[in-house]
């Protein structure tokens, strides 16, 4: 059978015991306990996963984080946030503020009009999807006039409205 994972010696055994006991919450305790169980008890990842009711992948992730960054490596939080953002939220706000003035005057704005300004601010090309997500992030929504048929006769429609009989409301 394969030997248990190797744990880097960031802490000596006494420091490790204290570190595990002083965990601030259940999640941190669980992560620290994984390191302790491998170091002290020489248990395998699948055994620890069964005992702690976590996945084997989680055990390997925590071991990797600890080995790479020491005890601080386990303190990192989830992956949320804007990891692939080209601009910060305030920079995006600045770009959209200029368009906000035009929109408040009743001008119809499209993503195609906004895209060149975004590209100019970034100094590189972006996809249409990036612009649409930017607009969604800032709660801009699509407001468009209702479509009309190209052969529609406005005068005939108005005449029909004026001359059609009133409904009695009974069916």
Query: Could you tell me if 28 and 69 lie in one domain?
Result: yes
Residue 150 covered by a domain: no
CA atoms within a 13 Å half-sphere pointing along the CA-CB vector of 149: 5
Read off the pTM. Answer: 0.48
Residue 144 covered by a domain: no
CA atoms within a 13 Å half-sphere pointing along the CA-CB vector of 44: 5
Q: Are 30 and 54 in contact (CB under 8 A)?
A: yes
Task: State how far the Cα of 12 lies from the Cα of 3, in Å rounded to an integer.
Answer: 21
Residue 164 covered by a domain: no
* Token digits of residue 89: 């939220």
Q: How many domains does the chain divide into?
A: 2
Cβ contacts of 24 within 8 Å, gap of 6 or more:
none
Query: Could you tell me if 23 and 71 lie in one domain?
Result: yes
Query: Could you tell me if 20 and 63 lie in one domain?
Result: yes
Residue 143 covered by a domain: no
State which residues form the domain around 67.
13-75
Report pLDDT digits (tens) over 49-97: 999 999 999 999 999 999 999 999 888 766 667 777 788 888 999 999 9
């Amino acid at each position: 059978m394969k030997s248990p994972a190797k744990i880097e010696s960031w802490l000596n055994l006494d420091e490790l015991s204290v570190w595990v006991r002083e965990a601030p919450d259940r999640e941190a305790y669980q992560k620290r306990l994984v390191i302790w169980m491998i170091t002290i008890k020489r248990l395998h990842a699948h055994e620890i996963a069964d005992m702690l009711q976590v996945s084997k992948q989680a055990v390997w992730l925590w071991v990797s984080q600890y080995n790479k960054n020491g005890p601080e490596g386990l303190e990192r939080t989830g992956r949320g946030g804007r990891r692939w953002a080209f601009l910060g939220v305030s920079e995006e706000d600045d770009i959209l503020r200029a368009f906000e003035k035009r929109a408040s005057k009743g001008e119809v704005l499209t993503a195609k009009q906004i895209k060149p300004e975004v590209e100019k601010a970034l100094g590189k090309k972006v996809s249409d999807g990036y612009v649409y997500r930017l607009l969604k992030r800032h709660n801009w929504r699509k407001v468009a006039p209702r479509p009309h048929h190209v052969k529609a006769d406005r005068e005939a429609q108005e005449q029909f409205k004026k001359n059609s009989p009133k409904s009695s409301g009974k069916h």
